[in-house]
Amino acid sequence: MSTVNDAYEEYRSDSTDENYGRLYEALREYSQSLANTVIPDSSRSYHHHAAENAATNSLLELEKFDPQKASFSTWANMSITRDLIDWVRKRERRREDSLEKVNSDSSKSTDPISVVEAKLLLEKVLSTLSDEERTLCGMMQNGLPLHRMADYLGVSLATVKRRWDGIREKGRNALGG
């Protein structure tokens, strides 16, 4: 395995397709190692595509690298890390948007349901939840952002999201759907 600096220098001194391929491989390996630190609580397969895309983007933006300002590895680190952080933010936004959609879909229900029936359904769902899951539901109801829930509970953001997915599944099961 050559370092990204070595691979870049080889490519810069001899711009062959072979050296370009070596540079790409070095960027891919470097990106995978950065993804392990930037993307919390994720298995290697979970963020593999994000790392691949970040490495590809860095290679496509190669002309933006200025050797007078930094080493190639420093520039690649900043470029890849920025892409990975953007990926995490986008994934978090999609998750929050899906939670908002669930909330808005349930509030737009056209089924005429009595207040008593609604309370009974809610009690049925809540009875399937642990105390910690009920706490999480209360935080969600109060509009607390997911990252704040994670801080409060002393767990990672991914854990909060996983638990929320579990709560939604329990709710669907309790309601028979």
pLDDT tens per residue, range 116-146: 776 777 777 777 788 888 888 888 877 778 8
Cα(first)–Cα(last) distance of the chain, in Å?
Answer: 51
- Number of structural domains in the chain: 2
Contacts of residue 146, Cβ cutoff 8 Å, sequence gap at least 6: 92, 95, 96, 157, 160, 161, 164
Quick check: is 103 in a domain? Answer: no
Segments forming the whole domain that contains residue 127 = 110-174
Token pair for 41: 């609580």
**Does residue 118 share a domain with residue 72?**
no
Nearest alpha-carbon partner for 83 in 31, 28, 25: 31
Calpha distance 170→114 (Å, rounded): 23
Length of the chain: 177
Please report where in the chains the tokens 């190669």 appear, as a residue.
Answer: 62
Rounded Cα–Cα distance for residues 92 and 158 (Å): 9
How far is C-alpha 170 from the geometric centre of its chain's CA atoms? 23
Question: What pTM was computed for the model?
Answer: 0.52
CB 136 within 8 A of CB 153: yes
Kindly report the average pLDDT of the chain as a whole number.
81
78 and 28 belong to one structural domain: yes
Which tens digits make up the pLDDT trace of 9-23?
A: 999 999 999 999 999
Residues 83 and 11 in one domain: yes
* CATH number of residue 150's parent domain: 1.10.10
Maximum mean pLDDT: which of 54-63, 80-89, 140-149, 159-168:
54-63
Here the CATH number for the domain that contains residue 19 is: 1.10.1740
